[in-house]
Structures are given as structure tokens and as C-alpha cells.
Amino acid sequence: MNKINEVFKNNKALIIYVTAGDPSLEATKEIILELNKDGVDIIEVGIPFSDPLADGPIIQRASQKALKNGVTLKKIFETLDEIKENITCPLVLMGYYNSILNYGIDNFITDAGNTGISGVIIPDLPFDEEEEFYAKIKENGIDPILLVAPNTSEERLKEISKVCSGFLYCVSIMGVTGDSQAPIEHLKEYSQRVRKYIDLPLAIGFGIDSPEKVKNIIDYFDGIIVGSALVKIIDENSDDKAKMLKEIKSFIKSLKIW
Amino acid sequence: MKKAYFGQYGGRYVPETLIPALEELEEAYEKYSKDPDFIDEYQGLLKDYCGRPTPLYFAERFTEYLKGPKIYLKREDLNHTGAHKINNALGQVLLAKRMNKKRIIAETGAGQHGVATATAAARFGLECIVYMGAEDIRRQALNVYKMRMLGAKVVPVYSGSQTLKEAINEAIRDWVTNVENTHYVIGSVVGPHPYPKIVRDFQRIIGDEAKIQILEKEGRLPDYIVACVGGGSNAMGIFYPFIEDKDVELIGVEAAGKGLETGQHAASLTTGKVGVLHGSKSYVLQDEDGQIQLAYSISAGLDYPGVGPEHSYLHDEKRAQYVSITDEEALKGFELLTKLEGIIPAFESSHAIAYAMKISPSLDKDKIMLINLSGRGDKDVDSYRELNREVIE
């Protein structure tokens, strides 16, 4: 059984997103180690991109900062390689397709494999584009984690179930990351509708920023994904690393209410 | 070829939330583009509201000056609102109306597409929001003013380059959030399927008319068709009906800005590589790590780091050739056409004019060249004045 399946076997999962290179790759290393220590179940490492269509202002800004710092996909792999022995939870890469296309699909698969990456999330690559890409990463032991939205049709849910593995990323709202109005109502119905077609753990993300929200939705999903709220904490404390790590620790603790 | 593609280019590289909207749009377009009522209404608007057909004008003095082929100008500058953009804006807003969408969003660089969309939205009484880079708002103050007069809300975008690329990102984010009641009027032959096809179909009127007109005037097809290419909608519009006419050379002119060697240009096909931007796969200006680069051109309508996927296909197939013209060359084209013909072309179209100036002297006099004069230059006169160039005698 691969690492992501293992996570969901007996428990719900807390999945945390962090933008690689914000405020620096050195800091990202420490943040990932901290998250791992704090009991985060899966860490999503964001590959910064100049034109992130699915992201709101917080992650956009973090990406721009990282790019200004000269972060590249190659450097991200090198950074993750340095700490892979010390990370026990699965690492998932989240990024836009142009980064991977430009890196070269075979190079990407090789380096992701060497770095111990368990899954890949690409918000602008639906299952019916580049089908061979998703098939290929799966053959190489990496889970293609696909997204569904509240308006995804039943036909597409059926098709997505054939491609996706690891867990399914349920977008909580019609919108972009960090939207504080999320999640939508009727989450119970949303989760039930998706489960009818997809037999995978369901994780919900976009706009999940407080323990109160987690409390309201945790019964319906197998995992909670938090991104912008943590990126905001990193941004607000980027001058004081010790405080940043402390704030992260207490935020994670407050979210894991199960 | 898969329906969303032109060869390997095109596709729908968008967040899953947008897929239902793209499917709805595709279905609506399939239905209404064959619906006689829709076609009649659209054709009626083109005729009585836009002023079509636009003339095909023999540029006699320009031809004499260059001592090359006979040069005709397809006068898209004479459309209502001053450019070809209105053809597509009216078509898409009419479609949005049929789809019961209450809210129209658009993005704009030079402002011509924004003005055209705001005009069409006003004509049909729909709410209209236009995203525009803060830098473009500065460069194109007159068009911003017009959009506001027309009742559109112009939203400045301050991220990144503060130009068209970021305005498109912002429009897509708005669309993801409001997809159920909103239609996004994309202004060029770019974006996810079915947009490149829809915009091309609404713009092919340029080429369809030009074909009839040149046959009437000359009794034969032209040897060359020259058009500027940013995203590429005016070029696609005039090229498309001639693609099967293999003897007609199709030439797309990109912006070389301050020179290709300076890196400050917008020549995606000439110097870019294959990538994914704004929902489709095409040639894109990007750095070694796949980050999209900022494009530059004196023309706000051309400084886009991507290009329509069908142009990428025509480029690979060698059915069209793509060249580039610098700011300085384009300005000379702008000045010469104004002086010789009494027609002030848009900075965008000046690139096509400048390329004609470059090649005409070496071409036979019995050849025929057709240049798409995609828009008029009123919007660029302030920018030109700021350059303080000596007026040529």
C-alpha cells in the first residue's frame, strides 16, 4: 500500500499546502519539517507559477515572492531531496501544467520519484487533457490527484474516478483559493453525490481557514486541505522565523480537532 | 484532429470549475451558429450597427511610393468603435444573451476589445465588467473613458506586468467565481476550446468579404495577405477563408518591440516555445523554468506573451509565415500611411503596414497584396505625440 492510502486507512487527514520558496527555500525546508513534526498527514508543496489561474491573492503573492527569490522546479527538487529522510508524511506536489511541460515529463517523473513524491495535483490539467501524462505518473507509483468542483457533472465524476488515485480533491466553492466565503452550503449532499461515483478518500479544500469551519465539514469528508490561511501566517511572520514556526504549530494544533 | 485542437495546439487547460461553462458555451454555439434567427440578427447588426461590409481600398499613393505590388487595405478601421474587435464582441454578447447570462466580463489591452464589449453590452442592456492592466489604463486613457461612458466598470489590475496577461488572469479568476451567471467575452483567438474557434468564426467575415471584394476588383485572389498578430484575431479572421487557396501567401506580423535580441518584444511564434497559457497549448514566451515572460510592444494590443493555437498550427504546417517588426519600423509605417493616404492606422496595424514597406520594393509589380488594417489610430495619437518625433515632410 502506498503512503497516501496508508494515511487514510484509519483516520481523517489534515493536508497542508505551502508555497515552495516563500519566504525562501531554506525557510520552506524548516516549515515542512515543522509541519511533519506537528502531525500534518500530507504536505502539499506548491510550485510557484507566474500565472496561477486557480489561486487567490494570498497564494499569488507568495508565488511572486518565491519567483523573485529565484525559485525553480529544479531547486525545489534539490531542497526536498535534502530533507526526504526526515519526512515521514507523504509529500504531494501542486503546480500548474506549464512548469511540468517545460521541465520535461520524463525528467519530472524521474526527479519526483527520486525525491519520494507521493502525488501530484495540477489544477489546470483536467483528466481529459494529456491523458497519457496521468497514466504515466501512475505507472511510476505517483498518485494523480484530481480536482472536482461543486458543478462537476456525473459523467465527468465517473471518468475522473478511472484516472484519480490517492485521494480526490473536492473544491469547496465556485472560486479560487483563499476565498473566505467558502465553503458552500449543502456539503453533505456534495460529498454524497461525489461518493456515488468515486470510491476514494475525499479531501475538501479552498477557503478552509479556521477550526470552526473544520468542525462544520469534517463529518462529511476524509480530509481537510488548508493553504492560504497558513501561507498568510508565514507572510505575517516572515521576519521572525522562531515566531513563524510557533504560530504554525499552534494553528495546526487548533485545526486537528479529531 | 481532436475537436478541441489544431494539431497539438489548443485544448482546455483550465480548473475543473470552468469545464461545465465551456461545455455549455460549446453547445450553445453549436446550436445558435446554425439557427437562422441568430444568424439574421447577427448579420443585421454587422450591417446596420457596425457598418459592414467594410471597404477594400486600393492604396494608390502607398503602392506608387513602394514601387512594388498593388496594395489593398481591408478597412476594419471603419467599423463602429474603430476596429475589427466589434465583430466578435457583438457575436459573443448576442450568444450570452441567448444563454441567459446577465453579466459580461472581458479583459482588454489596448482598450479596443474593452470598448467593443462595453458597446455590445450597452446595446443589449447587460452588466459589463472590464479588467485592464494598470499600465494599459495609463496608456489608453481615452478608451478607458469611453468604456466608462458606455456603462462598463473598468477594474484596474495591479499584479505582475499590469498589462493584458494579468488582466486575462484576473478575468479568468472572476469567471471561475461567477461562472453560473457570467459570460466571459474573450477578445482574441486564444483561451480554452471553444473560444479560439468561436472568435475565428466571428472574425472570418473579414476574409470572406475581402475574397469577394478582391475578385470583383481584380478578378483574382491576392498573392499576399499581411496582418498583425498579437493574440491573432484579425489575422485569423482574414487568413481563414484563404487557407485552402494555397497560392495565397499568408503573413502574420508579430511585434519585435525594441528588437528581438533585447528580449523586449512580443514575438511568441518567432522566439517562443510550446507551453500552456490561459487555458490552451500554443507558442508562449517563457523563461528556462517555464515562467511566462512579460511581453513588450509599443502597441498595447500586441504585447501578449502567447498566440492563438491555430496560428501555432499554421506556423508548424508552414501554411502561414510569421515575421516581426520593431517599434521603430511600425512607427515609420504609422507615419507613412498617414502622410500618403490620409489614414491614421492603429499601432497594431502599423506593424503590418511596416512589413509591407519592407518587402514590397523587392516584389513584382503585377502581384497583389492585401493588408488587414485592423483598427484606426485615434487611440494611439496621444502616445505618438508623447514621442515628440519630427513630423516627416
Q: Which single residue is written with the C-alpha cell 506536489?
A: A93
CB B74 within 8 A of CB B349: no
Same domain, B219 and B121: no
Mean pLDDT over residues A81-85, rounded? 97
Q: What percent of chain A has pLDDT over 70?
A: 100
Q: How far is CA A110 from CA B76, B116, B140, B291, in A?
A: 52, 49, 48, 21
Same domain, B173 and B254: no
- Residue B159 pLDDT exceeds 90: no
The pLDDT score that the predictor gives to residue A121 is: 98
The pLDDT score that the predictor gives to residue A38 is: 96
What cell does A151 get? Answer: 458543478
Are A129 and B15 in contact (CB < 8 Å)? no
Same domain, B334 and B289: yes
**Residue B247 within any structural domain of the chain:** yes
Tell me the helices (H) and strands (E) count for chain B, helix number first.
16, 14
- Residue B160 pLDDT exceeds 80: no
Mean pLDDT over residues B162-177, rounded? 91
Give the C-alpha separation, B281 to B11, whole Å. Answer: 6
The ipTM is: 0.96
Cβ neighbours of B279 in A, within 8 Å? 53, 124
- Residue B1 pLDDT exceeds 80: no
Split at pLDDT 50, 70, 90, the class of A248 is: very high
Q: Which single residue is written with the C-alpha cell 496560428?
A: B311
Which CATH number does the domain housing residue B190 bear?
3.40.50.1100
- Residue B270 pLDDT exceeds 80: yes
CB contacts < 8 A (A, B): 106
Mean pLDDT over residues A114-130, rounded? 97
Mean pLDDT over residues A133-162, rounded? 97
Give the C-alpha separation, A239 to A235, whole Å. Answer: 9
In chain B, at which residue ranges do the beta strands (DSSP E only) sit?
Answer: 5-6, 9-10, 56-58, 70-75, 103-108, 127-133, 153-157, 182-185, 224-228, 249-257, 273-277, 280-284, 320-326, 368-373
Cβ neighbours of A60 in B, within 8 Å? 159
Same domain, B213 and B362: yes
The pLDDT score that the predictor gives to residue B391 is: 64
The pLDDT score that the predictor gives to residue A185 is: 81
Q: In the annotation, is B374 catalytic?
A: yes
Element (H, E) at A19: strand A13-19
A82 φ, ψ (degrees, to nearest 5): -65, -30
Give the C-alpha separation, A90 to A87, whole Å. Answer: 8
Split at pLDDT 50, 70, 90, the class of B161 is: confident
Query: Structural domain tally of chain B?
Result: 2
B354 φ, ψ (degrees, to nearest 5): -65, -35
Same domain, B215 and B135: no
Q: Which of A27-36, A175-184, B48-57, B304-313 has the lowest mean pLDDT?
A: A175-184
Split at pLDDT 50, 70, 90, the class of A183 is: confident
Q: Among B11, B165, B177, whose Cβ lies nearest the Cβ of A129?
A: B11
Convert the pLDDT of each residue in A33-77 to its tens digit: 999 999 999 999 999 999 999 999 999 999 999 999 999 999 999
Domain range spanning residue A231?
3-255
Convert the pLDDT of each residue in B337-385 to its tens digit: 999 999 999 999 999 999 999 999 999 999 999 999 999 999 899 899 9
Domain range spanning residue B308?
51-82+204-387
Give the C-alpha separation, A149 to B18, whole Å. Answer: 9
Taking each helix axis as running N to C, give the angle between helix B85-98 and helix B36-45, from 0 to 180 degrees, rounded to the nearest 10: 140
Which CATH number does the domain housing residue A181 bear?
3.20.20.70
Q: Å from B278 to nearest chain A CA?
A: 8
The alpha carbons of chain B give a radius of gyration, in whole angstroms, of 19
Convert the pLDDT of each residue in B102-148 to its tens digit: 999 999 988 999 999 999 999 999 999 999 999 889 888 889 999 99
With a CB cutoff of 8 Å and minimum separation 6, the contacts of B47 are: none
With a CB cutoff of 8 Å and minimum separation 6, the contacts of A159 are: A127, A128
**Residue B174 within any structural domain of the chain:** yes
Mean pLDDT over residues B30-39, rounded? 98
Split at pLDDT 50, 70, 90, the class of B393 is: low
The pLDDT score that the predictor gives to residue B297 is: 95
pTM of the full structure: 0.96
